[in-house]
Amino acid sequence: MRHPEANASDAPPALQVDSLTRRYGALTVLHDVGMAVAAGTVTAVLGPSGSGKSTLLRLVAGLEPRDAGRVRVAGRDVTALPAHRRGVGLVFQDHALFPHLDVRANVAFGLVEAGWSQSQIVARVDALLDDLGLAALGERRVDALSGGERQRVALARALAPRPHVLLLDEPLASLDRALRERLADDLAERLRQADLASVLVTHDLDEAGTVADDLVLLDGGVVKQRGSVAAIVDAPADAWVARFLGHPNVFEGAERTRLPRPGSGPLWLRDELITLVAADAVAGPSGPDAEITRLRHQRGGMRLDLWVAAWGVRVVWRGAVRDLPVQAGPGDRVRLAVPERAWRDLPAALRPTAHAPEVAA
């Protein structure tokens, strides 16, 4: 993981981080973290709380000293520069709007620092406020704004001085769920339109999947996996990652040995590839019978807990009602049709993870 993959074009990536390490006394909160983000793309840093993701942002922004490693912005080494000379924007989790300034003055703050002329500032601020639907709020006090409005002002303020890199620290975490989902789409679009490299810290896979092109998975200050969202969801690097991404059927240890598959490493059964058929079906694919032990309705479909007696494990199936072969309820029996490609061997976790992943799908 030491060296990020080279950028496709000859231009250096807008943000390149190499071997970044940060210790608090004896505790290493970040260890040898590297990543590269090209202009016009969004990378999500995903991890459970305490994994070091916010520290990573603060180090890149220059708000905290690093113990080792380099940070390059548009090819320029900024490691030794203080925060105000890095050309890196940051959207804080609590937005950190200036309460003594109105919306306009908040957005204009960085432009004044950059020495823009008054007319340039007015034009830029007007354009941003228009673009973000804040035009009517320019003279509003920031403590009179709603959560969603505050978030957009914070974004406008960070975008205004046209930074090469924009860092976002859980920008949607303080909003309620409905607003969060709506703004995530909106944010994804805006970040891609602005020609900058964005790094979004989040603990929410849905948010990362909506906004980001690439993922960096952090756990205990170490990069677990990097790559495109699709690639990681499709091929988790190890059992921890698979569970963290919300895959329910990851088998290890005693459970693993009971499964009718060769090998002893962690095994992942992709729930979305399992087909359910009626238990008494004469024709059709063969597979083990299972008893439905629990049925839950979730966003986007149903989730069945299935006890597969033949394997001695519990398997989770997720899908739509129309995919159920029969009117199913707890206690009913179904048959599992499991294609060969639904099984995936996983490398063992690099090191044991003490805490259970927090993120459910």
If the CB atoms of residues 59 and 349 are measured against another protein, the closer one turns out to be 59
Select the span of 9-17, 155-163, 205-213, 305-313 touching another protein (CB under 8 A): 155-163
Phi then psi dihedrals of residue 347, to 5 deg: -65, 150
**Out of 68, 74, 81, 96, which residue is the one contacting another protein (CB under 8 A)?**
96
**Out of 64, 206, 252, 332, which residue is the one contacting another protein (CB under 8 A)?**
64
Q: Which residues 6+ apart lie within 8 Å of 25 measured at CB? A: none
What Å distances lie between residue 66 and 70, 78, 279, 298, 331, CA to CA? 9, 12, 60, 43, 57
If the CB atoms of residues 64 and 181 are measured against another protein, the closer one turns out to be 64
The rounded distance, in Å, linking the Cα atoms of 179 and 147 is: 9
**Out of 40, 67, 93, 233, which residue is the one contacting another protein (CB under 8 A)?**
93
Minimum distance from CB of 59 to another protein (Å)? 12
Minimum distance from CB of 242 to another protein (Å)? 31
Q: Is 65 in the site for another protein (CB under 8 A)?
A: yes
Q: Are 87 and 77 in contact (CB under 8 A)?
A: no
Q: Is 110 in the site for another protein (CB under 8 A)?
A: yes
**Out of 25, 27, 82, 320, which residue is the one contacting another protein (CB under 8 A)?**
82
Minimum distance from CB of 220 to another protein (Å)? 20
Minimum distance from CB of 309 to another protein (Å)? 47
Minimum distance from CB of 231 to another protein (Å)? 31
What Å distances lie between residue 335 and 168, 254, 261, 341, 342, CA to CA? 46, 23, 18, 18, 16
Within 10 Å of residue 120's Cβ, how many Cβ atoms?
A: 12
If the CB atoms of residues 40 and 161 are measured against another protein, the closer one turns out to be 161
If the CB atoms of residues 23 and 344 are measured against another protein, the closer one turns out to be 23
How many residues make contact with another protein (CB under 8 A)? 31
**Out of 132, 153, 158, 216, which residue is the one contacting another protein (CB under 8 A)?**
158
DSSP state of 335: E
If the CB atoms of residues 62 and 148 are measured against another protein, the closer one turns out to be 62
Minimum distance from CB of 198 to another protein (Å)? 14
Q: Say how many CA atoms lie within 13 Å of 175 toward its Cβ.
A: 22
Q: Are 38 and 153 in contact (CB under 8 A)?
A: no
Q: Is 130 in the site for another protein (CB under 8 A)?
A: no
**Out of 88, 168, 269, 276, which residue is the one contacting another protein (CB under 8 A)?**
88
Q: At what angle do helices 147-159 and 118-131 cross, to 10 degrees?
A: 140
Q: Is 63 in the site for another protein (CB under 8 A)?
A: yes
Q: Which residues 6+ apart lie within 8 Å of 109 measured at CB? A: 98, 101, 157, 160
Sequence-ordered strand ranges (E) for the chain: 15-24, 27-37, 42-46, 68-73, 76-77, 88-91, 165-169, 197-202, 214-219, 222-228, 250-251, 267-269, 275-278, 289-298, 301-308, 313-319, 333-337, 343-345
Residues binding another protein (CB under 8 A)? 61-65, 82-90, 92-94, 96-100, 109-110, 112-114, 143, 157-158, 161
